[in-house]
Structure 1
Amino acid sequence: MNKGLTSFRALAFFAVFLFHAVNFRAGYLGVQAFFVLSGFLLIPILLEMKVALKPSSYFINFYGRRALRVFPLYYAYLIFTGLAAWVVVNLDGYKGIKEIDRFIEQLPWALTYTYNFFAASTMLELTKLLSYVWSLAVEEQFYLLWPLLMFFARKQHIKSILLIAIFLGPIFRLLISEIVASDALPFLASRIDLVVYVLPFSHIDAFATGGIFALRQRSQSNNSAWIALFIMLLFGYSTQYISTGAVKISSLSYMPFMKDNYVLGYSIINIFFAILLLQINNRKFFPAIFESEFLYYMGKISYGLYIFHFPIIWVIGYMIPGKLGIFISLLLTIIISSISYELYERRFILMKDKFFPKNSS
Structure 2
Amino acid sequence: MVIAFHYDKLPLGIFGVDLFFVVSGFLIGGVLLDSREQPGYFTSFYGRRAFRILPLYWLALLISPPAHWGYYLFFIQQAPWLKFGFPLDEPNFVTWSLAVEEQFYLILPLLIFWLPRPWLVRVLWGGVLTAPVWRWIFDAYLAHPSWLCLMPGRLDVLFGGVLIAAFMRGYCRSRIAWAILALIAPIADVVHFALVGRIAALSVVALVCCIAVGSAAATKASVALRPLIWMGRRCYALYLFHIPVLIAFSRLGFGVYASFIALPAVCVLAELSWRLIEAPLMGYAKKTFAMPGTPSRQRCRAAPVQ
Q: How big is each residue's C-alpha offset from its partner over 1:204-249, in whole Å with a ceiling of 9 and x where there is no partner?
A: 111110111123339xxxxxxxxx89x95x9968975x67xxxxxx
Name the SS for the 1:51 alignment partner. coil
| C-alpha deviation, 1:78, in angstroms | 1.2
Correspondences of 1:1-361 after superposition (within 5 Å): 15-53=1-39, 57-82=40-65, 103=66, 105-122=67-84, 124-178=86-140, 181=141, 190-191=143-144, 194-217=145-168, 260-262=198-200, 266=201, 269-283=202-216, 292-318=225-251, 319-322=253-256, 324-358=257-291, 360-361=293-294
What root-mean-square deviation, in Å, do the aligned CA atoms of Structure 1 and Structure 2 show? Answer: 3.1
Aligned length: 281
| Ranges in structure 2 where 5+ consecutive residues have no aligned partner | 170-181, 295-306
| C-alpha deviation, 1:18, in angstroms | 1.9
Flag the 1:212–1:239 CA change in 2: closer, same or farther, 3 A: closer
CA contact (8 A) 2:190 2:199 kept: no
Flag the 1:174–1:287 CA change in 2: closer, same or farther, 3 A: farther
Flag the 1:326–1:125 CA change in 2: closer, same or farther, 3 A: closer
Partner of residue 95, structure 1: none
| C-alpha deviation, 1:304, in angstroms | 0.2
Query: TM-score of the superposition, structure 1-length normalised?
Result: 0.70
| C-alpha deviation, 1:43, in angstroms | 1.1
| C-alpha deviation, 1:334, in angstroms | 0.6
CA contact (8 A) 2:64 2:92 kept: no
Flag the 1:169–1:17 CA change in 2: closer, same or farther, 3 A: same
CA contact (8 A) 1:120 1:198 kept: no
| Aligned-partner residue type, residue 261 of structure 1 | I
Residue identity over aligned pairs, in percent, reads 26
| C-alpha deviation, 1:260, in angstroms | 1.5
Q: After superposing the two structures, state which structure 1 stretch, 206-215 or 304-313, moved more.
A: 206-215
CA contact (8 A) 2:22 2:157 kept: yes
Please give the alpha-carbon distance, in whole angstroms, between the structure 2 residues aligned to 1:303 and 1:236.
28
| Aligned-partner residue type, residue 40 of structure 1 | F
Please give the alpha-carbon distance, in whole angstroms, between the structure 1 residues aligned to 2:38 and 2:210.
26
Please give the alpha-carbon distance, in whole angstroms, between the structure 2 residues aligned to 1:238 and 1:143.
30
| C-alpha deviation, 1:259, in angstroms | 6.1
CA contact (8 A) 1:213 1:275 kept: no
Query: TM-score of the superposition, structure 2-length normalised?
Result: 0.81
Flag the 1:47–1:271 CA change in 2: closer, same or farther, 3 A: same
| C-alpha deviation, 1:176, in angstroms | 2.8
Flag the 1:299–1:23 CA change in 2: closer, same or farther, 3 A: same
Higher relative contact order (CA 8 A, sep 6+): 1
Please give the alpha-carbon distance, in whole angstroms, between the structure 2 residues aligned to 1:112 and 1:239.
32
